[in-house]
Structure 1
């Protein structure tokens, strides 16, 4: 509860936390919009494959030109300004950088950047949750071995959900479920970048004004991001996931305690201790009032009559039995909140969530009948969407992680709704992401057999 005063102290001492940002897209731009308001944090460099686009985004969010006009990283470090370039490796390796923020949104590249940063003794805040979903546990282990910190990005829903779960457990409550909200109807599974804005609720003009990427936003709509983020939450908290994927039960924030109980008690859960997503639409497509579409929540149980009575005495919203309650954060502000992670990692040497196990995967599911020879285009595209599965199913059955379903050729035809497997694709076996994932699968299989 004292991060901001500590940041102020670092500023007063002339010793800010020095960070490097890789990827100046939507998330990165949102963080950069806040950076000038954050004492004790110095963005030494921004690396992007298109420096001109990065500079345009800096202009767009209000940075004066002179602030990012440093000729190189050394110049930026000395003057307290920022250098914009395209060399991510140089940014990572610069001795003045303490924390690397990986925000490319490109899973294989993100894994390479993380591992390279660990090798240079740098902490990493990984915004590219698609990479965390399929090899977060491997990255966390690699960071621990290197003696550095690997962290989720505060502002994204996984880190915020982990925060709520940690709060509930630290208070002594029994967590029955946790997750995020979403706007969901089954037909959205087939959505493409061409249909996303009508479903999302924005006009094309509004999307263009905000420089919004239709493929990225479609990844939210078609169920991919909910699967990805739910996998990350499960792997960070140790919660389980539904065997056949997310149910997306419709409900308001006040419905969460009733929904997130075991089926035996009138809820939707197969059992306690699970990740789920609540939809803001009824199955008929009607908007639910007081929804949790943009937020996160945790549901927990009071296991004694005394705690039940406390819930009643303090007039909290519970399920009909009075034993289940929820706490929620109704909104998440994405990159605008990233300063919390930077402060936590830089000041306390503490991650804002990281994978502690390999419980779950977001796997590639065919959006339509796919023919052999087609190229998969990853989350939010035209060919596949994400489906959440327990690793006890996904690993033994050889399911292809969605984060590695980018620009890979299908070797066999796949029916709509079927999960794509490693055997169905011509995978790039030379990437660091592939190698780390396969190492994780071997370890996960061994653990499953031992159990």
Structure 2
């Protein structure tokens, strides 16, 4: 690792890929306020856009702290000497730059993997924001980091790191964790006055929700209510590839895996989570302990959002302790068997400086130091696909056209299953029927280095996973 790059040793310097993106903006805006965490190099194909972003954020036009476009090693050295932040278009130029930690936020599986690999082998830490990269190559990148004595970590502020940290905290307390997860990107906001429900910028009539705001009683009451709510909002698309990808990353650090490949996605109110994620024998949706899942928040307009936050559901064991906590406002199931602990936020790059400090100054990752490929983020064709089809990826949530994301425990993924973000941008070499899982034999044109990383990480999966929570 380069000694004291771009500042003193008390200053953590970072390189940022995907510097024109939404996450990047939140990090750059925040590190304007953190004198000890500062950008050294910003990388994006749109260098003029990065300069414009700097102007929007109020960065100085000249002198220390200003941005300057550079195209070679000499430009990098000059920028560093002047205390300026270099802006580069070519990701390969990062190998020549001086910085402590790479924040990888391109969202591009192949480009992000190579950028991370180059940083790690060059003795620099990596904070991985690109969950698409992590879902395919994260296990191998963590192993590579260990071999080079540096840190590979998820980034606090994104749900994977926040959930992994909440899980680690709860595990350290000895709590008996049954399920973990996050809320989906956007709440379902029900307006009783109009009988409508709004998700982001889409509003639909859902008058039936008015009679479904409370969970029904009885042994099947929770599941009956959830089924009716799902039917009431069927016009809304509630799942996203990003959700599956994030939970795939969480699985590598926690060992928790999906209950069903499409995940449950219950429409639930925050106060209901301990009832919803109880075991089925106790009226909930979970068939076994050790489940990772996503839910859609149902709330009224005046109620606070879950804000894409994260949760753990635990067994209570001592009823008196948890009844005391219920009285203090904590979420405990109606029968007292389960409780939900949650963080109703994720602040993107606003939180990330904590990860950068921990990695560089303390050698601590925001997740497991030895992640394992416990789950496979795969793709199932949603329609008949013909040979020659290019599996395009796009949109805010990086959906793959014609393919639905599914999350499988690794033991349930057939040999040769293609990870979704390896198959993205590849070309089908044969027809794939609707409902079929994509396999490596179905596609060509994927990145060979990314395949090698996936194969290495997949091969390291243990025959018998190590239990991650206490047994009751």
**1:5 alignment counterpart:** none
1:180 maps to 182
Question: Structure 2: how far apart are the matches of 1:34 and 1:184?
Answer: 23
| Matches of 2:18 and 2:38, distance apart in 1 | 16
Cα offsets for 1:405-432 (capped at 9, x unmatched)? 222111222333432111211243x532
Q: Distance in 1 between matches of 2:173 and 2:327?
A: 18
Partner of 2:168: helix, strand, or coil?
Answer: helix
Match of 2:49 among 37, 53, 56: 53
Higher helix share: 1
CA contact 2:267–2:295 (8 Å) conserved in 1: yes
2:86 aligned with 1:83, yes or no?
yes
1:263 to 263, 266, 280: 280
Task: Judge which range, 173-182 or 13-22, deviates more.
Answer: 13-22
Q: CA deviation at 1:316?
A: 2.3
Q: Secondary structure at the match of 2:156?
A: coil
Go from structure 1 to structure 2 and tell me whether the alpha carbon gap of 1:447 and 1:108 turns closer, same or farther (over 3 Å shift). Answer: farther
Following the alignment from structure 1 to structure 2, what is the Cα–Cα distance between the partners of residues 113 and 172?
38
Alignment correspondent of 1:206: none
SS in structure 2 of the partner of residue 268 of structure 1: coil
Q: Tell me, yes or no, if structure 1 residue 279 matches structure 2 residue 296.
A: yes
Superposed CA RMSD in Å reads 2.9
- Who is 2:207 aligned against? none
Measured in 2, the distance between the counterparts of 1:225 and 1:289 equals 25
* TM-score when normalising by structure 2: 0.79
Which residue, 337, 345, 352 being the options, matches 1:331? 345
Distance 1:350 1:357, change over 3 A: same
Number of residues of Structure 1 aligned to a counterpart in Structure 2: 405
**How far has the Cα of 1:275 moved from its partner?**
0.3
Contact 1:92 1:117 survives alignment (8 Å): yes
2: CA distance, partners of 1:14 / 1:135: 30
More off after superposition, 31-40 vs 78-87: 78-87
Of 402, 406, 411, 1:387 maps to: 406
CA shift at 1:317, angstroms? 2.2
Gaps of 5+ in 1: 1-9, 186-197, 204-219
| Structure 1 SS opposite 2:317 | coil
Shift of residue 249, structure 1, vs aligned partner: 1.1
Between the aligned partners of 2:418 and 2:464, the Cα distance in structure 1 is 19
Following superposition, the deviation at residue 397 of structure 1 comes to 3.7
TM norm structure 1: 0.82
Shift of 1:199: 6.2
Q: CA 1:52–1:312 in 2, change beyond 3 Å: closer, same or farther? A: closer
Structure-2 separation of matches of 1:334 and 1:221: 21
Superposed, which structure 2 residues align to 1:160-309 within 5 Å?
A: 160-182=162-184, 200-201=200-201, 222-281=239-298, 292=306, 294-309=308-323
Bigger radius of gyration among the two: 2
Q: 1:147 to 1:372 in 2, by over 3 A?
A: same
What do residues 131-155 of structure 1 show as CA deviations (whole Å, max 9, x unaligned)?
Answer: 1112211111111111110010111
